[in-house]
Amino acid sequence: MAKLQLNPPRPILGDQTNVPVPARKDDAKKPSEIISVSDTSEDDGLRSNGQPLPPRTPVRTKKASQLQKLKLSVLDSTDNAGLAVAVEEFTKFLQLGSRTLTKEGFAFLDALYKQLADPSIFVQPLRTLRSTTREDSRAPQPAHVKLGVVARLRREVGTASSNRVLANLVADFGAVTNKSSGRTITKDGFAFLEGLAARLQALN
């Protein structure tokens, strides 16, 4: 009996109590902390599972989709009043977001030019209305050239006498913007677009 009592149960109990319960809790917390940081971090642009974060793609898609709708509204317009509304919406949309003229923005200008010049003919895209020399295609146009052209367009749009004259101004605007570095719309550029909408209303 004495020998049986000397069998030490304590080490067994000690082994059981030494199982680190707090450590298990900590281990359970660590994955959630890691996921939280990874999901919200933009340093590497990746989620914890290696997938890219999605915010930038929807923004680009939304801009392209809205510009496509504006382009279709231009093509569906049957008078200058409708074109004026489309130009106003186009201008405000770019002012509130990115001021860079993307391919969808140029497509809008192409459609506008076509409607103003002659809705029944095929019009060469504005992005190709530029010098075809190799030297010109390699180097962007100096900034002062763009500023000078856009300032002139801003002045002339208010006195345009017909839709065809406005079409030529739109062509010049698209061409000079396309040739500039960054293809951004300046303050004078937005003033030109606002003046264009106003002139379309006046010629309606």
Report in angstroms the alpha-carbon separations of 197 from 47, 107, 138: 45, 18, 34
* Average pLDDT per 10 consecutive residues for the chain, totaling 204 residues: 51 49 50 42 52 57 91 93 96 92 94 87 54 43 71 95 95 92 91 97 90
pLDDT of residue 189: 95
**Cα(171)–Cα(35) distance, rounded to whole angstroms?**
52
What's the CA dihedral at 149, 154, 156, 158 to 10 degrees?
170
pLDDT of residue 39: 42
pLDDT of residue 181: 82
Q: Is the pTM of this model over 0.85?
A: no
Q: How many residues does the chain have?
A: 204
Q: Is 131 helix (H, G, I), strand (E, B) or coil?
A: coil
Round to the nearest angstrom and report the end-to-end CA distance of the chain: 115
pLDDT of residue 50: 62
